[in-house]
Structure 1
């Protein structure tokens, strides 16, 4: 081997080795996927707890907004279907009256009498103009034009109402679509929250659990409603059935928009429980707050619904002893909790 060539090879290998060593000694860069949550190691348990609560709270607000929009769209669909059926019947009635009027005109032109039976059948929805005797046929013929005109007016009004209802339904469906899109964005945040919880170290999880237990104990001590001394009023009648139903759902998961039987959201649990007790109530927590009889916190009884937060976006059922049963949030199951564990807006009583 040529000495000059061998020297160049040795120098090249030495340079390569030096480069490898230099790269090895450089600090490794850290890359985080855009969808991954921020590292939690440098955050306090209190900060993590606050972040999680904020994410889940936003999720519940979005859930109730979507449920409300969906409920309104469903009710409007039923109203529109009913109007369309009425409009179809009215159109048929107008057509029959038009045919009858034509027949009457031809008969009178020939100097004859129109069979009263046919007129009776057509005017059956107008008892004030119905025919009791065949001799009333001529009078009915005179009234026929008036009835026909009133039916045309009714058809025009129904047509107007149907068109307005169809426009309203389109608006409600658009609103529901907007709420669904917002809900999807919140679901992405919930996934991030779940990743945060899944990524906590054992000691962080233990501290988080302890923090929640401390909050529970504090909430128990802050309850100023009935049974605050430790006793428990028993439910009776339909309220007892509603409480028993809700308690039987303990352990079932929270799922957005769910009304059972295998999962529930907060208002899905309360509305289904009271329906099972024979007293259907509005579907959403906001509608329950607006539509049910309000009672004072001090007079709350088992079966009553406690509405939480200023925007009425969470609801639970009071079971006595300062306790509630509710579907808390995504990632949790139906459970009992202190009634004062969230900011109370007020109390409503189904069936009152």
Structure 2
């Protein structure tokens, strides 16, 4: 190859290399910037996911609390039953001592009643036959007490295992929901005022409630709505039942203010109410459900409802004609 050709080739390669170095890193694979509508759709989807996670989390908390209460009651019963069994054991021991002193059959009984646990007693049931002729009532009580104590101890052990499993499941759900909540917060911050639509509303909205409820509801329904309006502007909190609320915690506490008890989670609140159809038949104070029973609010009249929407938002009034809520409407329920 001539020197002229070699020189020209090298020059070409140098120019190409310089051009490549001048290009910004990653230009060829740069992702298109997310549009406003895409970000809002992403937030709406995330809000829906967290609503359902929140229901699962609240249900898991209920189940854990119920299991914990049951286990405590069972342990108290075991303690009482153990005392009863110990008292009966003393009585049987006295019977055995008397039988032994008088030369009656019962040589194995002293060792039997000295047992420290009911299983030992149950394993040696045949020994009871030697005292059963004249003392059947006392022996039957002792045997029954041993059986009951053994059963309750086994239940308590299983209950402890179940409680640990429920607690671990609860902690796992909590971790999942907290991760999603952080994503919500980041998106709400990114969108700012633009988040205020399509199920992605945000920002303090105390004025949205007009200074309190002034509608036509009476009786308990009015009490429910007056309480709900008094919380307008309160920031949302997943799992919250006061002083900050999630959607079902908000409705539960609103009804509690009127002396009405409703379940904790949205699907259970739906099941506990009587269906109201068509939508035009809604009355102030009825519950309105959305998003495959992931969300709930309280109808206030005029096609509007009050609710605690989601992370980044506040207790506020919304319209059933809002595109997101109208398209995700499930139904309504009255107590």
* TM-score when normalising by structure 2: 0.68
Q: 1:167 Cα shift?
A: 2.5
Partner residue, 1:64: 55
The counterpart of 1:149, out of the listed 140, 143, 157, is: 143
Unaligned runs of 5+ in 2: 1-17, 103-132, 202-213
Q: 1:63 Cα shift?
A: 2.1
Q: 1:86 Cα shift?
A: 0.9
* In 1, Cα distance between equivalents of 2:148 and 2:57: 36
Number of residue pairs matched by the alignment:
265
- The answer to whether 1:345 aligns with 2:323 is no
Trace 1:298-337 onto structure 2 (pairs within 5 A).
298=278, 299-310=281-292, 312-337=293-318
Partner residue, 2:105: none
- SS of 1:297's equivalent in the other structure is coil
- SS of 2:284's equivalent in the other structure is coil
Q: 1:144 Cα shift?
A: 1.3
Alpha carbons of structure 1 residues 57 and 159: separation in structure 2 relative to 1, 3 Å: same
The counterpart of 2:157, out of the listed 150, 160, 163, is: 163
The counterpart of 2:237, out of the listed 232, 247, 255, is: 255
Partner residue, 2:258: 277
Unaligned runs of 5+ in 1: 1-21, 32-36, 112-138, 199-204, 216-231
Do 2:236 and 2:308's aligned partners in 1 also have CA atoms closer than 8 Å?
yes
Q: 1:255 Cα shift?
A: 1.2
- SS of 1:332's equivalent in the other structure is coil
* TM-score when normalising by structure 1: 0.65
* In 1, Cα distance between equivalents of 2:167 and 2:190: 34
- SS of 2:330's equivalent in the other structure is strand
The counterpart of 1:295, out of the listed 275, 278, 286, is: 275
Partner residue, 2:4: none
Do 2:305 and 2:318's aligned partners in 1 also have CA atoms closer than 8 Å?
yes
Trace 1:20-39 onto structure 2 (pairs within 5 A).
39=33
Q: 1:98 Cα shift?
A: 0.8
Trace 1:11-90 onto structure 2 (pairs within 5 A).
39-40=33-34, 43=35, 45-90=36-81
Alpha carbons of structure 1 residues 97 and 347: separation in structure 2 relative to 1, 3 Å: farther
